């Protein structure tokens, strides 16, 4: 028992690999759906009826955000395909502009104040600023799929999985 406990404490979970072996293309769990996921990394085709798809979770965080911002960056919320960060820095948009190859910036305004080019439209695996350069000023995340956020100049966003949107709008302040 002691060896198992010690082994688990020494385990590096970042080194885990998530590979799906798929025998069909279509459907919810087919190769097409896996390749469309935001954490898609690579694929290998063995035959007409066998494809391996490698998925990587939080690679963006561990290989880009953590080294760049160190202790000035915290993940506030994570879901299957999204991350919400608290970042302390001079100008996060300057960093996005310098490393635009890691981001889908195609929906920023053409004349955005940061001079970020509009590139990488809908390329799998790239991160996207859902606010398109508008600052998120407040965030409350209570649990998975239950959060509220405030963005300058926009209506507050409130999400609660399993509760109808009209109930959320009326009851959550």
Q: What's the predicted TM-score (pTM) here?
A: 0.71
Categorize the per-residue pLDDT at 1 as very low, low, confident or very high, splitting at 50, 70 and 90. low
Distance from C-alpha of 139 to C-alpha of 148, rounded to nearest angstrom = 6
Which residues does 70 contact at the CB level (< 8 Å), separation at least 6?
none
Mean pLDDT score, 37-50:
87
Strands 127-128 and 103-104: parallel
Q: Give the chain's radius of gyration (CA, Å).
A: 19
Categorize the per-residue pLDDT at 14 as very low, low, confident or very high, splitting at 50, 70 and 90. low
Tokens of 28: 């919810």
Tokens of 173: 């302040």
Angle at 140 between CA 138 and CA 144, to 5 degrees: 140
Cβ proximity of 137 and 154 under 8 Å? no
Distance from C-alpha of 147 to C-alpha of 142, rounded to nearest angstrom = 6
Mean pLDDT, the chain, whole residue set: 88
- The secondary structure element, H or E, covering residue 146 is strand 146-151
Cβ proximity of 56 and 16 under 8 Å? no
User: Tell me: the pLDDT tens digits for 63-115?
Assistant: 899 999 999 999 999 887 788 999 999 999 999 999 999 999 999 999 999 99
pLDDT at 2: 67
Phi-psi region of 81 (alpha: psi -120 to 50; beta: other; left: phi over 0): alpha
User: Tell me: the pLDDT tens digits for 16-37?
Assistant: 778 999 999 999 889 999 988 8
- How large is the greatest C-alpha to C-alpha distance in the chain, in angstroms? 62
Among 77, 85, 39, 34, which residue's Cα sits nearest to residue 58? 39
Domain residue ranges in the chain: 13-55, 134-172
């Amino acid at each position: 028992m002691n060896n198992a406990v010690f082994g688990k404490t020494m385990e590096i979970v970042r080194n885990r690999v998530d590979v799906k072996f798929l025998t069909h293309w279509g459907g919810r769990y087919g190769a097409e759906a896996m390749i469309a996921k935001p954490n898609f990394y690579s694929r290998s085709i063995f035959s007409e009826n066998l494809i391996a798809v490698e998925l990587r979770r939080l690679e963006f965080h561990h290989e880009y955000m953590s080294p760049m911002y160190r202790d000035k960056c915290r993940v506030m919320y994570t879901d299957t395909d999204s991350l919400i960060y608290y970042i302390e820095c001079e100008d996060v948009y300057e960093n996005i502009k310098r490393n635009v190859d890691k981001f889908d910036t195609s929906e920023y305004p053409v004349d955005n104040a940061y001079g970020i080019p509009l590139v990488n439209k809908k390329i799998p695996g790239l991160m996207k600023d859902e606010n398109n350069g508008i600052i998120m000023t407040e965030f409350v995340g209570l649990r998975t799929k239950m959060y509220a956020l405030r963005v300058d100049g926009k209506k507050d966003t409130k999400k609660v999985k399993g509760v109808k949107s009209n109930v959320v709008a009326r009851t959550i302040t």
